[in-house]
């Protein structure tokens, strides 16, 4: 659900980029060129997100698993070191 909200945010933000454009225009709305750029942006990053989604998710799942494994290993090492200190 949070991912869906983030995707909505990123799809809405480019629509307001024309407000920060330094170009002066006699019309009050965005030019057709800007609308084309916005559509191009949405298609490009939407397509990249769609194509790379599985790869990116797999990468982060592997990173999470590796981090958990390293934390477990570190906690076991810490416990062993505490036992050794208690024996001395």
pLDDT per residue as tens digits for the range 28-44: 566 888 888 999 999 99
Domain-wise residue ranges, the chain: 6-18+28-87
Pull the structure tokens for residue 36. 């084309």
Contacts of residue 31, defined as CB under 8 A and 6 or more positions apart, other chains included, come to 18, 25
**Nearest residue to 29 (alpha-carbon basis) of 16, 12, 14:** 16
Answer whether 0.75 is exceeded by the pTM. Answer: no
Average pLDDT value for residue range 69-74: 98
- Residue 20's Cα: distance from chain center in Å? 24
**Nearest residue to 17 (alpha-carbon basis) of 43, 44, 40, 35:** 35
d(CA 14, CA 38): 6
């Amino acid at each position: 659900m949070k991912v869906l909200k983030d995707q909505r945010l990123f799809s809405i933000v480019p629509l307001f980029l024309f407000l920060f454009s330094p170009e002066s225009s006699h019309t009050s709305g965005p030019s057709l060129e800007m609308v084309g750029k916005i559509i191009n942006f949405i298609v490009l990053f939407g397509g990249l997100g769609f194509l790379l989604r599985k790869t990116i998710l797999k990468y982060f799942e592997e990173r999470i698993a590796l981090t958990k494994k390293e934390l477990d290993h570190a906690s076991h090492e810490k416990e062993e070191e505490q036992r050794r200190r208690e024996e001395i």
